[in-house]
Amino acid sequence: MIVSPANATVLSLLVPLIGFFAIWATGKSPNLREAMTLITGLVLMGLTFIVFGAVGAGARPGYLLFTVVGGLPIAFQAEPLGAMFAVLASVLWFVNSLYSIGYMRGHDEKHQTRFYMCFAIAIASAMGVAYAANLFTLFIFYEVLTLSTFPLVTHKGDEAAKQGGRVYLGLLMGTSIGLLLPAIVWVYSIAGTTDFTPGGVLAAPLSEAGALPALLLGLFAFGIGKAALMPAHPWLPNAMVAPTPVSAFLHAVAVVKAGVFSVLKIVVYIFGVDFLKDTGASIPFMWIAAGSILLASAIAMHKDNLKARLAYSTVSQLSYVTLGAMLATQMGVMGGAMQIATHAAGKMTLFMCAGAIYVGAHKTLVSEMRGLGPKMPFTFIAFFFGAMSIVGLPPMGGSWPKFLLMLGAADAGQLAIIAVLIVSSLLNVVYLLSIPLQAFYLAPAGEGEKPQGSGAKAIDWRNIDEAPLLCVLPPIITALFALLLFFFADPLYAYLAPIMEAR
């Protein structure tokens, strides 16, 4: 092996940073600059695969960068959950880079060099979150991720972008500094360490602590604003002012998944699932997550702007992961972990399709997309498959986490949660699957008219008006990922299973 897995963890941060400077240096020549992004992406993928392989073989490669204050090192250690998140992020970043090139050029955006530079920092900090060996390290990269994505969200620089950016930064920084940081320091003060330890670190010192575990869990659940648990979610819809590649990658994969990933990791490695189950501290948050799932879906139903609808759908889907964690059962946690992977592939497909529709047909409202299917068949077919995965229909990967979550709810004796999951899937059918169906089967509505019944047209293969290839190919690739996840769910489950073993 060229690089040892331990070094690969820290190189995963270093390589995007080198890429950052390479992109800066080659900013004058767009082709060279994009080549730098793609090369960085390929090298990074290689590194994350090395770590992934080693973790799968039972190793826990780690790297101590240095110790800041006594007992608080910046250190990395890969475990199955983090290794999976890192692979997911690096692969999807590469796909998204292809898409960015198509979108940004097709759209002739300004400041493209800054755009790619910020992306490189964002992916580096996502790697930091994925491999963090303790809460302290996690927090540092969590904040870097927020700051590095702020210029991406406000990329357009107009008043709407500024307003969205203010909410984005204010909410994410506010929750993290106001709730997450005290929670981390509190854990440090109680347990004397912030290391992620199988089985948790709080069970012993807090065995007699009454309501304190629930309070701490609440600080984490809302302090990790990136997990978008209601009511800490408004930053996500506001972030939709960003260019679509940003929404597709950051607000379907890197940023939001860093949030729910952190929640899962804290529940598993700081609290310990058994501890939560015994104290029942997570029950209130399970209900909040369930409420968040339904409420966000309900809001998504009446959003006509496609990206806004997808954003609320994301809020809802993220709460599945939080719900899985808060069920405090093995199946729940596994369901949450699988949801991270399958939702990433599915939702990224949907966002990239939204961007392709925008570039190809300049449409942003769902109501304007009726009858667009025959013109853009590939985009809408990819959208259809992505939506299937989000709803949880076989043969798409998204069906497994829903299944596991239901098992987990049954294990926890929370039958009402099963009903919540079923209702949520039905709502998803209504507001996501309807979009491609209307695109194919309804005729476009004229000015001020009500949509006319069936106007199904055959796809006229000679008259296709798709977005550029680099905008259409990436969503098809991610839709294929979502499909493959259905068939390879078992190996993934086996890969993740060790996180539940308290060693």
Partner 1 sequence: MNILAQLPVIPIILPLVTAPLAMLMPSEKMGGRAPFVFATFVVWAVFAACAGLLHSVATTGPISYHLGDWAPPIGIEYRIDLANALVLTLVSGIAALVFPFSYESIRSEIDRRQISYFYAALLICMTGLLGVTITGDAFNVFVFLEISSLSTYALVAMGADKDRRALTASFNYLVMGTIGATFFVIGLGLLYQATGTLNMADLKIQLAGDKNRMVEAGFAFIVVGMGLKAAMFPMHLWMPNAYAYAPSAVSAFIAATSTKVAVYVIIRFIYTVIGADFSFAPAAFAWLIAPLAIAGMFFASGVAIFQDDVKRMLAYSSVGQIGYMLFGVSFGTEPGLAASLVHLFNHGLMKGALFMAAACVMLRVGSHNCSAYAGLARRMPFTAGAFIVSGLSLIGVPLTVGFISKWQLLAAAFDSGRAWAGFLIVASSFLAVIYVGRVIELMVLKPAPADAPEIKEAPLSMLVPMLILVAANVYFGLHTELTVDLSERAAHALMGAGR
| Residue numbers at the binding site for partner 1 (CB under 8 A) | 66, 68-70, 72, 139-140, 143-144, 147, 151, 154, 157, 162, 165-166, 169-170, 173-174, 177-179, 181-182, 185-186, 188-190
Q: How far apart are CA 409 and CA 471, in angstroms?
A: 39
Sequence-ordered list of residues with C-beta below 8 angstroms from that of 366, at least 6 positions apart, any chain: 303, 304, 305, 306, 309, 435, 438
* Token pair for 240: 């939709």
| Residue ranges in 302-433 assigned as alpha helix (H) | 306-327, 330-361, 377-391, 399-411, 415-428
| Secondary-structure percent of the chain, ordered helix, strand, coil, rounded to 5 | 75, 5, 20
Q: How far is the CB of 161 from partner 1 (least distance, A)?
A: 8
* Closer residue to partner 1 in complex, CB, 142/400: 142
For residue 64, the minimal CB distance to partner 1 (Å) is 14
To the nearest whole angstrom, how small is the minimum distance from the Cβ of residue 325 to partner 1?
24
Nearest CB to partner 1, comparing residues 148 and 414: 148
Tokens of 62: 């780690």
Whichever of 57 and 69 has its CB closer to partner 1, that residue is 69
Cα angle 187, 327, 253 (rounded to 5 degrees) comes to 75
Q: CB of residue 141 vs partner 1: minimum separation in angstroms?
A: 8
Minimal distance, residue 262 CB to partner 1, in Å? 15
Residue with tokens 């590469």: 94
* Shortest distance in whole angstroms from residue 118 CB to partner 1: 13
Looking from the CA of 394 toward its CB, the CA atoms found within 13 Å total 5
Give the span between the Cα atoms of 250 and 239, in whole angstroms. 10
Query: Is the Cβ of residue 162 or residue 457 nearer to partner 1 in the bound state?
Result: 162
Nearer to partner 1, 188 or 495 (CB): 188
Is 306 in contact with 357 (CB distance < 8 Å)? yes
CB nearer partner 1, residue 38 or residue 72 = 72
DSSP assignment of 64-102: EEEEEETTEEEEEE--HHHHHHHHHHHHHHHHHHHHHHH
Residues facing 13 on adjacent strands:
none
Decide whether 119 or 380 has the Cβ nearer to partner 1.
119
From the CB of 189, what's the least distance to partner 1, in Å? 4
